[in-house]
Structure 1
Amino acid sequence: MRVVTLGYQTWGHRTLSAVLRTEHEVALAVTHPQSDHPYEQMWADSVEDLAAANGVPVHVATRADQALIDAVHAAEPDVIVANNWRTWLPREIYAAPTHGTLNIHDSLLPRYAGFSPVLWALLNRESHVGVTVHRMDEGLDTGPIVAQQAVPVGPASTTTELVLATMDLIEPLVARSLADLAAGTLTEIAQDPAAMTYFHKRSDLESRIDFTSSAADIELLVRAQSDPYPNAHFTFDGQRVRVLAAHVSTGRFGGTPGRVTVPYEGGIAVVCGSSRTVPEPAIVFERLRLDDGTEVSAKQFFGTRGGYIDD
């Protein structure tokens, strides 16, 4: 089959690599231009470089303009395979090939359609994350499922670990889906709209620590916002402080949420939770990162200072 790939960053790179390893011909690789946006600097393996190294024609576009529509039609694909294409695709593109378009999404659809699915799933304490291959239609991540695979979430998993694990699923799922499509054995399972959940892009607001949350929730936020993602953070004495490592205290602490207390279990305990009078486990900060990039222990940063973390 003649295949056109649409993709960006490492997700798109893994997808193009998967197709290149099959018997199928890559007629065109479409990708976005390089960006200086922080999110697009993460996992930034270049689709364009991989295509060029393998003699594959490349079309670079920001969105689905007429030039991209014309390029896709000129390639005469039997199927499009898309992964991490970041703008809307019109029917003139996704329905153009004989076999339509297969989209790869890093969640177990119909749950976690939309953005940052692995991070949101971890925060919601899901037991598994995964990757879905589905047919593209006019909705966002709504088309029939043709392949899916899950990986378990461990008790200390970080978003980074889970993203890397789901990336490893891309190549085998793409290869299997194309083989089934070529053999005429591809099965499709319609998504249940009532089971669908959608999540938006995360912003700086979602990374800010709320000390009225439980210590377990704060510790989970720290793991969810692991490097290279924007770290969970708070403000102390007017300085933004990012949290790299933390744990839930064994003992319980009472008082005002956000109160910096004492050295405890290798770090500094900060009161958290919904009550000022009923003691609850504290969040124990271990490693911090300052605005200049310096990494310090919580003991180094707080020293003998008490006080309250700024709201």
Structure 2
Amino acid sequence: MRVVMFGYQTWGHRTLRALLESAHDVALVVTHPQSDHAYEKIWSDSVAGLAEEHGVPVVLRDRPDDDLLLTLKEVQPDLIVANNWRTWIPPEFITLPRHGILNVHDSLLPAYAGFSPLIWALINGEQEVGVTAHMMNDELDAGDIVVQRAVPVGPADTATDLFHRTVDLIAPIVAESLDLIASGRTDWTPQDRSKASFFHKRSIEDGNIDWTWPAEDIERLVRAQSDPYPNAFTHYKGERVRVLKASVSQGVYGGTPGRVFIREGDGIVIVAGAEARRGRSHGLVIERVRTEDGTDLPAGDLFRTMGGYLTARP
């Protein structure tokens, strides 16, 4: 088959590498210009660089336009393969290749369509995550499923752990999907849209800790915002503090959410949960923090005395 690839960052890079290693002809690569967005500067292997190394023409676009459509008509692809393409692809692009567009998405669709699915899934306590290859239609991440693979989420896993585990699924999923499409198969599995969910891009503000959340949820937020992602953060005495490591307290504590309360184990308990005033909630034990100047230190070195509050704003 004659294939065009739409993709960006490491997800797109892994997809392109799988295409280049296949028996199919990669005729063109379309990728986004480099971005300063905090979440787009990490996992940023260059799709354009890999294409150029292999002599594949590259087109840079923020979004598909009429000029790109004309280029694709000249290339005449049998299939477009997309991964981590960040903007809407119009219907006329989807219907142009005779096999349509195969999109590769890092969630177990129909759940977690949209952006940052691994982070959202970890925050929400999902027991597994994965990668889905599906045929694109005019609704984002909603097309029929070609191949889907899952991996379990462990109790200490970070978003970084899950990234490495799922990105390794891309190459075999792409290879299997290409074989199925080339064989003439079209009996794909429709998504159960009653189980669909759709999430927005994450920004720095999404890591701002809400101390009315249960401690279990905040602990997952901390793991979801692991390095190199922008860390979960709060404010203490007017300064931003990033939380690098935390756990749910053994004890049950009462009071006002955000209160710097008591030492437990290797950390400092912060009162958490909307029902904390009833004295029936576990707190969050902060164990390691990063200050605004980039210094990492044990929480006890920052919270030297008990009392005071952690807040959403300085």
Distance 1:206 1:38, change over 3 A: closer
2:122 is aligned to 122
Q: Are 1:246 and 2:224 an aligned pair?
A: no
TM-score (norm 2): 0.95
Paired residue type of 2:104: I
Question: The residue matched to 2:305 in structure 1 has which SS?
Answer: coil
1:10–1:46 CA contact under 8 A, matched in 2: yes
In the TM superposition, residue 251 of structure 1 has moved relative to its aligned partner by 1.8
Q: Distance in 1 between matches of 2:310 and 2:20?
A: 52
1:208 and 2:208 correspond: yes
> Structure 1 regions of 5+ residues with no counterpart?
none
**2-structure distance, mates of 1:24, 1:230:** 38
Q: Does residue 77 of the first structure (1) align with residue 74 of the second (2)?
A: no
Measured against aligned partners, the alpha-carbon deviations of 1:217-247 in whole angstroms (never above 9, x if no partner) come to 1111111111122211111111111100011
Find out whether 1:269 has 2:279 as its counterpart: no
Conserved 8 A contact 2:38-2:230: no
The CA distance in 1 between the partners of 2:185 and 2:96, in whole Å, is 21
Say if 2:302 is the partner of 1:307: no
Match of 1:298 in 2: 299
C-alpha contact 2:131 2:169 (8 A) present in aligned 1: yes
Query: 1:271, 1:143 → 2: CA distance?
Result: 44
1:20 is matched with which residue? 20
Deviation readout 1:275-298 (Å, 9 max, x if unpaired): 324243221111111112111111
- The answer to whether the Cα contact below 8 Å between 2:262 and 2:306 also exists between their aligned partners in 1 is no
Structure 1 position 305, deviation (Å): 5.1
- Residue 286 of structure 1 pairs with residue 284 of structure 2: no
2:113 is matched with: 113
C-alpha offsets along residues 242-275 of structure 1, whole Å, 9 cap, x if unaligned? 1000111112222222111233201111112223
Structure 2 letter corresponding to 1:170: I
Distance 1:71 1:288 in 2: 51
1:98-153 Cα deviation digits (max 9, x unpaired): 11110011111111111111111112211111111111111111111111111111
Map of 1:164 onto structure 2: 164
Check whether the contact 1:113–1:198 (CA below 8 A) recurs between aligned residues. Answer: yes
Matches of 2:186 and 2:150, distance apart in 1: 19
Q: Deviation string for 1:69-91 (max 9, x for gaps)?
A: 12222211110000011111112
Q: What secondary structure is seen at the aligned counterpart in 1 of 2:148?
A: strand
Q: In 1, are the aligned partners of 2:9 and 2:40 still within 8 Å (CA)?
A: yes
Residues 263 and 231 from structure 1, CA distance in 2 versus in 1: closer, same or farther, beyond 3 angstroms? same
Give the deviation of 1:7 after TM superposition: 0.2
Letter in 2 for 1:250: Q
Counterpart-to-counterpart distance in 2, 1:110 and 1:282: 34
CA distance in 1, matches of 2:80, 2:89: 12
Tell me, in whole angstroms, the C-alpha distance in 1 between the residues paired with 2:162 and 2:142: 23
Q: Which moved more, 1:51-60 or 1:257-266?
A: 257-266
Q: Counterparts of 1:126 and 1:6 in 2: how far apart (Å)?
A: 29
Whole-angstrom distance in 1 between the partners of 2:91 and 2:311? 49
Q: Following superposition of structure 1 onto structure 2, how do residues 75-224 of structure 1 map, counting pairs within 5 Å?
A: 75-224=75-224
Report the residue type matching 2:304 in the other structure: G
SS of aligned partner of 2:276? coil
Please, which moves more after superposition, 62-71 or 102-111?
62-71
Deviations 1:15-57 (A, max 9, x none): 0000011110100011111122211101000000000111111
Structure 1 contact 29–48 (Cα < 8 Å) conserved: yes
Amino acid at match of 1:286: E
3-state SS of the aligned residue for 2:292?
coil
Q: Is the 8 A contact 1:207 1:231 kept in 2?
A: yes
CA distance in 2 between partners of 1:8 and 1:79 (Å)? 18
Matched, 1:37 2:51: no
